[in-house]
Amino acid sequence: MKQMKKKKKYDSFIKDILHLATSLKVLEAKARKMGIFLCERELVECKCGFVEDVASDGRLITYKKGDKIEDTGLRFRKTAGKYYVCPVCKSRIMGTAYFTIGNRKKPWRAGI
Protein backbone atom coordinates (compact mmCIF):
# COMPACT_ATOMS: atom_id res chain seq x y z
CA MET A 1 0.00 0.00 0.00
CA LYS A 2 2.75 2.44 1.02
CA GLN A 3 4.77 1.54 -2.07
CA MET A 4 1.74 2.17 -4.33
CA LYS A 5 1.38 5.70 -2.92
CA LYS A 6 5.06 6.36 -3.52
CA LYS A 7 4.78 5.05 -7.09
CA LYS A 8 1.75 7.28 -7.73
CA LYS A 9 3.59 10.34 -6.37
CA TYR A 10 6.64 9.46 -8.43
CA ASP A 11 4.58 9.06 -11.63
CA SER A 12 2.85 12.37 -10.98
CA PHE A 13 6.20 14.07 -10.37
CA ILE A 14 7.65 12.70 -13.63
CA LYS A 15 4.54 13.85 -15.51
CA ASP A 16 4.96 17.37 -14.06
CA ILE A 17 8.65 17.44 -15.02
CA LEU A 18 7.88 16.38 -18.59
CA HIS A 19 5.23 19.09 -18.85
CA LEU A 20 7.70 21.68 -17.52
CA ALA A 21 10.43 20.55 -19.95
CA THR A 22 8.00 20.81 -22.88
CA SER A 23 6.93 24.29 -21.76
CA LEU A 24 10.58 25.40 -21.49
CA LYS A 25 11.30 24.18 -25.02
CA VAL A 26 8.34 26.23 -26.33
CA LEU A 27 9.57 29.33 -24.47
CA GLU A 28 13.11 28.78 -25.75
CA ALA A 29 11.85 28.62 -29.35
CA LYS A 30 9.88 31.85 -28.87
CA ALA A 31 12.92 33.59 -27.35
CA ARG A 32 15.14 32.50 -30.26
CA LYS A 33 12.57 33.77 -32.74
CA MET A 34 12.64 37.15 -30.97
CA GLY A 35 16.45 37.27 -31.23
CA ILE A 36 17.12 36.77 -27.53
CA PHE A 37 20.53 35.31 -26.69
CA LEU A 38 20.09 32.21 -24.52
CA CYS A 39 23.68 31.94 -23.22
CA GLU A 40 24.21 28.40 -24.50
CA ARG A 41 27.53 29.46 -26.00
CA GLU A 42 30.11 32.19 -25.70
CA LEU A 43 29.73 35.30 -27.80
CA VAL A 44 31.77 35.30 -31.02
CA GLU A 45 34.53 37.82 -31.66
CA CYS A 46 36.47 38.04 -34.92
CA LYS A 47 40.08 39.15 -35.33
CA CYS A 48 38.81 41.95 -37.64
CA GLY A 49 37.11 43.53 -34.61
CA PHE A 50 33.54 42.53 -35.42
CA VAL A 51 31.87 41.23 -32.23
CA GLU A 52 28.64 39.85 -30.82
CA ASP A 53 27.17 41.34 -27.67
CA VAL A 54 23.94 41.21 -25.72
CA ALA A 55 21.74 44.29 -25.38
CA SER A 56 20.15 45.14 -22.05
CA ASP A 57 16.87 43.59 -23.25
CA GLY A 58 18.61 40.27 -24.01
CA ARG A 59 18.79 40.59 -27.80
CA LEU A 60 21.91 39.47 -29.62
CA ILE A 61 23.59 42.39 -31.38
CA THR A 62 26.73 42.86 -33.48
CA TYR A 63 29.01 45.82 -34.06
CA LYS A 64 32.59 46.74 -34.90
CA LYS A 65 34.83 47.36 -31.86
CA GLY A 66 35.54 51.07 -31.50
CA ASP A 67 32.34 52.05 -33.34
CA LYS A 68 29.11 53.12 -31.65
CA ILE A 69 27.52 50.13 -29.92
CA GLU A 70 24.57 49.78 -32.23
CA ASP A 71 23.30 46.59 -33.84
CA THR A 72 24.46 46.26 -37.46
CA GLY A 73 21.93 43.52 -38.14
CA LEU A 74 24.74 41.31 -39.46
CA ARG A 75 25.14 37.89 -37.85
CA PHE A 76 27.93 35.36 -37.61
CA ARG A 77 26.83 32.33 -39.62
CA LYS A 78 27.11 28.97 -37.88
CA THR A 79 28.66 26.20 -39.95
CA ALA A 80 29.32 22.50 -39.39
CA GLY A 81 31.66 21.61 -36.57
CA LYS A 82 30.81 24.58 -34.33
CA TYR A 83 32.54 27.14 -36.50
CA TYR A 84 31.16 30.59 -37.23
CA VAL A 85 31.83 32.74 -40.29
CA CYS A 86 32.31 36.48 -39.82
CA PRO A 87 29.83 38.44 -41.96
CA VAL A 88 32.41 41.20 -42.48
CA CYS A 89 35.71 39.50 -43.38
CA LYS A 90 34.48 35.90 -43.90
CA SER A 91 37.00 34.45 -41.40
CA ARG A 92 36.13 31.16 -39.70
CA ILE A 93 36.02 31.35 -35.90
CA MET A 94 35.76 28.35 -33.60
CA GLY A 95 32.76 28.72 -31.30
CA THR A 96 32.65 27.77 -27.65
CA ALA A 97 29.61 25.92 -26.36
CA TYR A 98 28.80 25.36 -22.70
CA PHE A 99 28.06 22.27 -20.73
CA THR A 100 26.89 22.31 -17.13
CA ILE A 101 28.52 20.67 -14.11
CA GLY A 102 26.27 21.14 -11.11
CA ASN A 103 25.21 24.77 -11.28
CA ARG A 104 28.43 26.03 -12.92
CA LYS A 105 28.89 26.51 -16.64
CA LYS A 106 32.17 25.31 -18.10
CA PRO A 107 33.35 26.24 -21.59
CA TRP A 108 33.76 23.43 -24.06
CA ARG A 109 35.86 24.11 -27.15
CA ALA A 110 34.42 22.49 -30.23
CA GLY A 111 36.91 20.41 -32.14
CA ILE A 112 39.35 19.94 -29.23
- Per-residue pLDDT band at 112 (split at 50, 70, 90): very low
Average pLDDT on 52-70 reads 92
Give the Cα separation of 58 and 42 in Å (integer): 14
The residue among 108 and 80 whose pLDDT is bigger is 80
Query: What is the average pLDDT score of the chain?
Result: 84
- Per-residue pLDDT band at 97 (split at 50, 70, 90): low
- Tens digit of each residue's pLDDT (9 = 90 or more) over 3-58: 878 888 888 999 999 999 999 999 989 988 888 888 778 899 999 999 999 998 88
